[in-house]
Amino acid sequence: MNAVFETGGGEILSRLPDRAEAWAVLTQYNKNEFHLRHALTEESVMRWFAAELGHGDEADFWALVGLLHDLDFEGWPGQHCHKTEALMRELDWDERLIHAVVSHGYGLVTDVKPEHEMEKILFATDELTGLIGAAAIIRPSRSVMDLELKSVKKKFKTENFAAGCSRAVIKRGAAMLGWELDKLMEWTIRAMRASEEEINAFFVPDSAGFPVQHGDDA
Ligand SMILES: [Fe+2]
Domain ranges of the chain: 18-202
Ligand 1 center to 35 CA (angstroms): 8
| Contact partners, residue 150, CB within 8 Å, separation at least 6 | none
Q: Provide the sign of the torsion angle of the four alpha carbons 28, 120, 116, 58, taken in this order.
A: positive
Ligand 1 center to 146 CA (angstroms): 24
- Position 179, amino acid: W
> What pLDDT is stored for residue 58 in this prediction?
96
Residue 204: phi and psi, rounded to 5, are -90, 125
Q: What tens-digit pLDDT sequence spans the chain (218 residues)?
A: 556 555 555 555 678 999 999 999 999 999 999 999 999 999 999 999 999 999 999 999 999 999 999 999 999 999 999 999 999 999 999 999 999 999 999 999 999 999 999 999 999 999 999 999 999 999 999 999 999 999 999 999 999 999 999 999 999 999 999 999 999 999 999 999 999 999 999 997 665 655 555 544 43
> What pLDDT is stored for residue 210 in this prediction?
57
> What pLDDT is stored for residue 56 in this prediction?
96
What whole-number distance in Å separates Cα of residue 58 and Cα of residue 50?
A: 7
> What pLDDT is stored for residue 204 in this prediction?
77
Distances (CA, A) of 34 to 31, 73, 80, 150, 177: 9, 11, 17, 26, 27
Ligand 1 center to 145 CA (angstroms): 22
Ligand 1 center to 30 CA (angstroms): 13
What whole-number distance in Å separates Cα of residue 210 and Cα of residue 4?
A: 40
Ligand 1 center to 40 CA (angstroms): 10
Strand-pair category, 211-213 with 203-205: antiparallel
Q: How big is the chain by its Cα radius of gyration, in Å?
A: 17
Distances (CA, A) of 137 to 33, 125, 175, 197, 200: 15, 18, 27, 14, 12
> What pLDDT is stored for residue 130 in this prediction?
97
Ligand 1 center to 127 CA (angstroms): 7
Ligand 1 center to 38 CA (angstroms): 7
> What pLDDT is stored for residue 5 in this prediction?
56
Ligand 1 center to 9 CA (angstroms): 38
Ligand 1 center to 126 CA (angstroms): 5
| Of the candidates 50, 56, 49, 93, the residue with the CA atom closest to the CA atom of residue 71 | 93
> What pLDDT is stored for residue 217 in this prediction?
46
What whole-number distance in Å separates Cα of residue 100 and Cα of residue 108?
A: 15
Ligand 1 center to 51 CA (angstroms): 20
